[in-house]
Amino acid sequence: MLRGLYTAAAGMVTQQRRHDTATQNIANLNTTGYKQVDSVSHAFPDVLISAMSNGVTKPIGRVNTGVFAEQSISQYLQGDLIESGKPVDFALDTNLQVADPVTGENITFDGSGKYTSPQGEVIYRPQAFFTVQDNDGNNLYTRNGSFTVTPTGNVLSAGGFKVLDEQGNPLVLTEPQDNLKVDGQGNLLDPRTGQPSGTKIGVSVITRPQELVRDGNGVFHAEDVNTAGIRFANNGDNLKVRQGFLENSNVDATQVTVDLNAAYRAYEANQKVIQFYDSSLQKAVNEVGRV
């Protein structure tokens, strides 16, 4: 009986986490550059139930001992681009490809940006991010291109971080922001000649985005740059920097609402199971115990 009580309690904790994740996604439905988070649940290890008869052990079967919310996974799919018309607003339009190591052909990713090879290897679609830097000199990565410019020309992200150029240095404008022109590769153009000025917005390509850690405020960091496969973008990458646009959240409102209701119903069902066990234990103590 107690095992069933613990299993139901574990289910309630898991559904609470699923509910919190869905609520977070809904709250950021209109947050620029926000990436949807999915809660992944796993079962506790199964227990083999056996019976002993005349010294012989016979397996009866397996019983599951509960479920737990193991982790939250970010979905880095491209969000819709919304035109803002502001010269310091930028969005990344990406379709980065990976060649199959066996055939050499481009991999076709599924709707979640994942591909599983015949050998069972899981490959995620590489993603591109604007590169920013905090006050401690740590590089962070964001898809929120709503930038601002200080009176001294420093370009800052929406979270107040320094936006970097492709050399890893803080990006500083020498011209008024109204004259700012950027081409599709992220090169800042000379307003007098229309040619690249030699400065380029720092866009990082992350080969293994699943290694990124969410920091909040729309930014991510990598515990190990080499493991995440981080490098600055080059002209051969299939991506464009769109000036005067912002990337909307990639949250699927319909699916998140379904997940929210499902988590609520599952939580309610586990709650009723606990109430049943509580009633049974009360009867066992107060009534059976008197006999």
pTM: 0.81
Q: What is the mean pLDDT of residues 148-152?
A: 93
pLDDT in the model for residue 244 = 95
Burial 90-109 (b: 16+ CB within 10 A, else e): bbbebebeeeeeeeeeeeeb
Picking from 109-113, 148-152, 154-158, which range would have the lowest pLDDT averaged per residue?
109-113
Cβ proximity of 69 and 13 under 8 Å: yes
d(CA 267, CA 16): 7
d(CA 92, CA 32): 12
- Interhelix angle for 253-286 vs 2-27, to 10°? 160
pLDDT in the model for residue 149 = 94
**pLDDT > 70? residue 30:** yes
Percent of the chain whose predicted confidence (pLDDT) is above 70: 95
Neighbours of 19 (CB within 10 A): 19
Neighbours of 217 (CB within 10 A): 14
d(CA 185, CA 181): 12
